[in-house]
Homo-oligomer: A and B are copies of this chain.
Amino acid sequence: MFKELNPLFHSELRLGIMSLLLSVEDADFVYIREQTGATAGNLSVQIDKLSKAGYIEIEKTYKGKVPCTLCKITPEGVKAFEQYVDALKSYIHFKDE
């Protein structure tokens, strides 16, 4: 009846991160924090989880002398996101936008 919802996506912040990264080549920590409104601590933890799951890739670089954490969605991340959306449809009937 209802498909399983991947718990990694079923979290407001992580869903926001993934949604953001899906629409963009890559994004840095500060940008994601601003867009999602998350605290740095929370974002750090959630990014780590997504990274460990293989859904995003982290690259630690510098912008001049300032550290910069770049995030990029992986193909597995894209696939898992699509599956999550598909599972959601078993709960919700979306009308066309």
- Could you say which residues of chain B place their CB within 8 Å of the CB of A95? 96
Among candidates B2, B16, B96, B97, residue contacting A91 with C-beta atoms closer than 8 Å: B16
The A contact surface, by secondary structure, is loop
**B94 near A35: Cβ-Cβ < 8 Å:** no
Q: How many positions in chain A have a CB within 8 Å of any CB in the partner chain?
A: 24
What is A's interface to B at a CB cutoff of 8 Å? 1-2, 4-5, 7, 10, 12, 15-16, 19-20, 35-37, 85, 88-89, 91-97
Q: Which residues of B contact A37 (CB under 8 A)?
A: 2
Are A12 and B16 in touch, CB under 8 angstroms? Answer: no
Task: Assess the B15–A12 pair: CB atoms within 8 A.
Answer: no
Q: How far is the CA of A20 from the CA of B2 in the complex (A)?
A: 9
Contact B2 A36 (CB under 8 A): yes
Kindly list 6 other residue pairs between chains A and B, CB separation below 8 angstroms, not including A5-B12, A10-B10, A85-B92.
Answer: A1-B16, A1-B35, A2-B35, A10-B12, A88-B88, A95-B96
